[in-house]
Structure 1
Amino acid sequence: MPAPATYSWLAPARLAVAAFVAVALGFSGYRAATDATGVLNFFSYFTNLSNLAGIAVLGYGGWAGLTGRRPVPDELRGAVVLYLAITGLFYGTLLATYPEQLVIPWVSDVAHRVMPLLAFADWLIDPPVRRIRPVVVLGWTAFPLLYLTYALLRGHAVDWYPYVFLDPSRHGGYRRVAGACFLMTAAFLLVGAAVAALGNAAAAHRDARDGTVPRGRHARAGTG
C-alpha cells in the first residue's frame, strides 16, 4: 500500500510498527513456549492472531510502499483493522479484569492498545481507494466465525478455552456461550460497519481535498 506522496514517512513507519509488535509477540510467544501455556494455546488467542495479521499487513504494506510493489488490498486492510479494533475493545471492556488473561504487562499494552490504535490511524491516514461496501463488511465476519468454531471444538477436545466467556463449564453453560457468540458476532458487524464508514469518510475527504477520484492507489502514490 504505497503512501501518498505527501506521506512519504508512512512506509518506514509501517515497517517500524510491524517490527516493534513482532518483537513484543516474540517475547510473549517465547514465554508461552517455555511455560504451561504452550505454543498451540498461544496461537489460539484471537489477540495474537489479530496482531500477527496486523504485523503482516503493515510489514508488507511498508515494504510495498518503499519498493513500488502492489499494495495490500483495502478489503484485507479493513478486515485486519476490524479484528484489532475488536481486540482492543473487548480487552478494555471485558478481559482486562480476568487474571487468566494477564501476560507480560508491556506486551499486553502493545497487543491490546498500541497496535489497534496505530492500525486504525493507518486506515484513516491512508484510507481505501474505493468505497467499502456492506457486503465486504459481512465478509469480514467469516474469520471470526471460523475462529469461534475452532476455539469451541478445540476447547471441548482438550478442555482449555482461550477466553472465559467461551468456557461452558462456567455458570450458564452453553446457553451463556451461545449468547456470548451472538453478541460477539453482532459486535463484529457493528464495529466493522464503523470501520468501513470512517474509512469511506476519510477517503471522501481525501478526494475532495485532492479534487480527484483516483482509480487506484497507484494513481495517488507518487513514487511511494
Structure 2
Amino acid sequence: MISRIASIVFRLFFAALSLGAVGWQLFAIHLPGGQSVVDFFSYFTNLGNVLLGVVFLIGAVRLARGRTEASTADAAVRGAAVVYIVFIGIVYSALLGDAQLGGLTPWVNVVCHFVMPIAGVVDWLVWPPLRRIALSTALWWLVFPAVYTVGSLVRGAVTGFYPYPFFHPGVVGGYPRVALYCIAMLVGLLALALLVRWAGNALGARSERRLEAVPQC
C-alpha cells in the first residue's frame, strides 16, 4: 500500500512538473516571442518530456483506480519514455551544455534536462515493469528517434531551421559530420535501450508483482 501511494504521489508530482515546465516554455516564452508551435515541438527535449509526463499521469491514475499495466504495450510505452528522457539528459550534458536552445528558461532547462531524466530512472528502477520487455520491443524504441532525425534533417534543409547544432551541416562542417553524429547517437541510443530493457526485466523478475506475459523473442 505504501509503495502504491508513493508511486502515485511520485508520478503525479513529476507529471505536473514536466508538463508544467513544457507548458510554461511554450505559452509564456515561445509563442509570445513570435515562434511557431511546430518549431517548439521540433525539439526532442519537449517531445520526450511531454511523453514522460503523460506516461506518469496515466500510470498514477491507473494506480489510483487499483489498476496496473494492462498489457505489454503499456510497459513498452513506459520503457520508451524512460529511454528517450535519459537520452535527452545524456545528449544535453555531452553535446549541448553551452548551446542556446530556443531561449530555454533556466528553471525549465534544469527540469527538462536534469530533473526529469533522474525521475524517469528512479521510477523505472523502484517500480519496475510488470510485463517482460522483449528484445524486439527495445529495438522498436529506436524507430521514433530515427524518424525524428530524418524529419529534422529534411525540414532543416527546406526551411533552414535545425533544432540542434549537430543537425546543421553549416555548423558542424558538412553532411558527413552530421552523419557521424547521427550514427554515434543511434549506437548510444541502442545501448541505452538494451540497458533499460535489461534493468526492467532483471528488477521485475524479483518483484512479486510480476505478471506472466506471453513469451516473445
Alignment TM-score > 0.5, same fold? yes
- Contact 2:69-2:130 within 8 A present in 1 as well: no
Match of 2:23 among 15, 26, 34: 26
> Equivalents in 2 of 1:132, 1:102: separation in Å?
38
SS in 2 for 1:177: helix
What residue number does 1:163 align with?
164
Cα deviation for residue 24 of structure 1 reads 1.1
Q: How far apart are residue 23 of structure 1 and its match?
A: 1.3
C-alpha deviation, 1:93, in angstroms: 1.0
Partners of 1:190 and 1:137 lie apart in 2 by 10
Q: Cα deviation per residue 1:13-52 (whole Å; 9 max; x = unaligned)?
A: 2112111221111111121111154322111000000000
SS across alignment from 1:15: helix
**Alpha-carbon separation, structure 2, partners of 1:127 and 1:155:** 38
Partner of 1:200: 201
Letter in 2 for 1:61: G
8, 13, 32: which one aligns with 2:10: 13
Runs of 5+ in structure 2 lacking a partner? none
Contact 1:18–1:55 (Cα < 8 Å) also in 2: yes
Distance 1:149 1:171, change over 3 A: closer
Is there any run of 5+ residues in structure 1 with no aligned partner, and where? Answer: 217-224
- Any idea what the Cα deviations from partners look like across 1:118-152, whole Å, max 9, x if unmatched? 11111111112232222111110010011001111
In the alignment, what sits opposite 2:152? 151
Q: Contact conserved, 2:22 with 2:108, CA < 8 A, in 1?
A: yes
* Matches of 2:146 and 2:36, distance apart in 1: 24
Using the alignment, how far apart are the partners of 1:79 and 1:90 within structure 2?
Answer: 16
Q: Which moved more, 1:63-72 or 1:105-114?
A: 63-72
Number of residue-to-residue matches in the alignment: 209
Name 1:55's counterpart in structure 2: 53
CA RMSD of aligned residues (A): 1.9
SS of match in other structure, 2:31 = helix
Provide closer, same or farther for how the CA distance between residues 109 and 213 of structure 1 changes in structure 2, counting only shifts above 3 A.
Answer: closer
Query: What does 1:125-136 align with in structure 2 at a 5 Å threshold?
Result: 125-136=126-137
Change (3 A) 1:169 1:16: same
Q: Conserved in 2, the CA contact under 8 Å of 1:129 and 1:214?
A: yes
Give me the whole-angstrom Cα distance separating, in 1, the residues matched to 2:169 and 2:183: 15
**Matched residues in 2 for 1:7 and 1:68: separation?**
9
Q: Is the 8 A contact 2:41 2:47 kept in 1?
A: yes
Give aligned-pair identity as a percent: 34
The Cα of 1:102 is off from its aligned counterpart by: 5.2
Q: CA deviation at 1:213?
A: 5.1
Give yes or no for contact 1:47–1:111 (8 Å, CA) kept in 2. yes
Match of 1:51, SS state, is helix
| Matched ranges for 1:1-224 at <5 A | 6-30=3-27, 31-69=29-67, 71=69, 73-100=74-101, 103-206=104-207, 210=208, 214-215=211-212
Contact 1:95/1:101, CA 8 A, preserved across alignment: no
Are the counterparts in 2 of residues 102 and 108 from structure 1 also a CA contact under 8 Å? no
State the TM-score, normalizing by the size of structure 2: 0.89
Instruction: Return the alpha-carbon distance in structure 1 between the equivalents of residues 101 and 43 of structure 2.
Output: 12
